[in-house]
Copies of this chain bind each other. A is one copy, B any other.
Amino acid sequence: MRNISTFLIGLFICASGYAQQALWGGEAIVSPDIHDDNSVTFRLNAPQAEKVEVTGDFLPTQKMQTPMGEYDAPGTAALVKNENGIWEFTTSGPLASELYSYTFIVDGLRTLDPANVFMIRDVATVTSVFIVGGGQADFYKVNNVPHGTVARRWYDSPALKEQRRITIYTPPGYESNEDTYPVFYLLHGSGGDEEAWIALGRTAQIMDNLIAQGKAKPMIVVMPNGHTQNASAPGESSRDYRPAMGGGPREAVASMEDSFGDILKFVESNYRVKKDKANRAVAGLSMGGMHSAAISAQYPETFDYIGVFSAPPIASMMVRNEDDRAKYADEFVKKLKVQQENGFKLYWIACGNTDFLYQGVLDSMKKMDEIGFDYTYKESEGGHIWRNWRIYLTEFAPMLFK
């Protein structure tokens, strides 16, 4: 009787409920099956299906027509029935190291891979995911290194008149020493919430790995919810709502910029942190990039490190009405002048060259050039996608607090 779990394995096969169905059905199906050469086989047991496809970001994109215009949709590939009646598709060659998302399409119905329990929600869609290692995505894997803590907490926001949910990463060793740490505020996009960076962004894994390799300093990473009309991710607060792009159950009583002080105050009174400009960073993707630019301008003596990922730092460059655009941009440029005069160590703008906000980023930088604003620009391939944001995080974090 050395180990209760050992003798239970056989016994529990008899138990009733869902678990057993999982054991009876599908146990022989391995999908996705990542081979030694990094080619990948997808498998699905769907005996009655007439057509099975896989769609995912590992396939070449295809042009898709929508009521709002053309866009690049993930490609599809057909699975074929093998000799055992299992539908199967193998990539034509090795996949590059990456975290990939995919779903099956069975006779027109989109469905998750029942053989793969790893799935991530992005806005209102859940997809199956897998990681191909051997390169960049080794940063996204849980490796055999010291791990930080990830806490979901609630802070009080007097500005927003409520308790709000927040995700906080503390680095390995935080609980066992007496050091004070720098703080990196990391903001999500319009489709996200306080779960976005930790789930799709793989922030905990990236930070654990960068810190273990000596590439990033140990730091606290704070991931708040940037939708001030929501208290939390869907299902995590008493205001029940279904996830939607930028959606939420009520009008916001204050903006992210105006309520940001509540977050700063919470972090600096609840954690052992260094409370000066040289030890604070703020960055975000898309809407969160615009928030980062706006927050760092509104609190000009607060951040030495600013990151704007896939977003125009001057958010109003995206306003459609030309007069409004010019007026708002001029107002914001005045703030940027003050920020420039106050000084900072790094203002890092990154964007993919097929991003739908690319032109707004170029237009912003043109305005910033006019006042000699001291930013650094990194242009990458690709569009408005998590692949880029994970890469930007991996590149940005090592530049902080040095």
- Cross-chain contact B237 with A18 (CB below 8 angstroms): no
Query: Contact string, A127-158, partner B, CB cutoff 8 A, digits 1/0?
Result: 10000000000000111111101111110000
Q: Is A69 interfacial (CB 8 A cutoff)?
A: yes
Which of B22, B154, B163 makes the CB contact (< 8 A) with A125? B22
Q: Which residue of chain B has the shortest Cβ distance to A3 in the bound complex?
A: B255
Q: Which of A9-17, A77-85, A392-400 contacts B (4 or more CB under 8 A)?
A: A9-17
Chain B residues within an 8 Å CB radius of A6: 246, 252
Query: Contact string, A380-400, partner B, CB cutoff 8 A, digits 1/0?
Result: 000111000000000000000
Q: Which of A101-109, A177-185, A336-344, A371-379 contacts B (4 or more CB under 8 A)?
A: A101-109
Chain B residues within an 8 Å CB radius of A257: 4
Q: Is A28 interfacial (CB 8 A cutoff)?
A: no
Q: Which residue of chain B has the shortest Cβ distance to A30 in the bound complex?
A: B242
Give Cα A277–Cα B346 distance, bound, in whole angstroms: 54
- Cross-chain contact B4 with A123 (CB below 8 angstroms): no
- Cross-chain contact A114 with B123 (CB below 8 angstroms): no
Given contacts A4-B315, A18-B127, A318-B11, contact A46 B242 (CB under 8 A): no
Q: Which of A214-222, A227-235, A299-307 contacts B (4 or more CB under 8 A)?
A: A227-235
Q: Is A287 interfacial (CB 8 A cutoff)?
A: yes
Q: Is A5 interfacial (CB 8 A cutoff)?
A: yes
Give Cα A151–Cα B2 distance, bound, in whole angstroms: 31
Which of B30, B150, B234, B383 makes the CB contact (< 8 A) with A152? B150
- Cross-chain contact B236 with A287 (CB below 8 angstroms): no
Given contacts A14-B71, A66-B20, A245-B23, contact A5 B227 (CB under 8 A): yes
Q: Which residue of chain B has the shortest Cβ distance to A9 in the bound complex?
A: B246
Give Cα A226–Cα B5 distance, bound, in whole angstroms: 8
- Cross-chain contact A21 with B151 (CB below 8 angstroms): no
What's the nearest-Cβ distance from chain B to residue A320, in Å? 9
Query: Contact string, A233-272, partner B, CB cutoff 8 A, digits 1/0?
Result: 0111110001111110000100111000000000000100
Chain B residues within an 8 Å CB radius of A151: 149-152
Please give the number of chain A residues whose Cβ is less than 8 angstroms from any Cβ of chain B in the complex.
114
Chain B residues within an 8 Å CB radius of A328: 1
- Cross-chain contact B16 with A242 (CB below 8 angstroms): no
Chain B residues within an 8 Å CB radius of A107: 46, 48-49, 107
How many copies of the chain does the oligomer comprise?
A: 2
Query: Contact string, A163-207, partner B, CB cutoff 8 A, digits 1/0?
Result: 101000000100110000000000000110000000000000000
Chain B residues within an 8 Å CB radius of A245: 9, 12-13, 19, 23
Give Cα A234–Cα B16 distance, bound, in whole angstroms: 22
- Cross-chain contact A109 with B112 (CB below 8 angstroms): no
Which of B5, B152, B385 makes the CB contact (< 8 A) with A190? B5
Give Cα A295–Cα B7 distance, bound, in whole angstroms: 17
Which of B14, B18, B106 makes the CB contact (< 8 A) with A356? B14
Give Cα A319–Cα B11 distance, bound, in whole angstroms: 9
Given contacts A14-B68, A109-B46, contact A252 B3 (CB under 8 A): yes
Give Cα A123–Cα B14 distance, bound, in whole angstroms: 15
- Cross-chain contact A101 with B18 (CB below 8 angstroms): yes
Chain B residues within an 8 Å CB radius of A125: 18-19, 21-22, 114, 117
Give Cα A324–Cα B119 distance, bound, in whole angstroms: 43
Give Cα A163–Cα B175 distance, bound, in whole angstroms: 15
Question: 9 extra interchain contacts, Cβ-Cβ under 8 A, other than A16-B71, A143-B238?
Answer: A1-B316, A4-B257, A16-B356, A17-B385, A20-B66, A117-B125, A149-B153, A151-B152, A153-B175
- In the complex, 20 of the A-B residue pairs with CB atoms within 8 angstroms, ordered by the A residue number, are A1-B328, A3-B255, A4-B257, A6-B252, A7-B318, A12-B246, A14-B68, A17-B122, A20-B66, A23-B124, A25-B110, A46-B108, A46-B109, A48-B109, A111-B111, A119-B126, A142-B235, A143-B238, A150-B152, A153-B175
Top 3 A-B residue pairs of the complex, sorted by shortest distance between their CB atoms: A22-B125, A9-B246, A151-B151
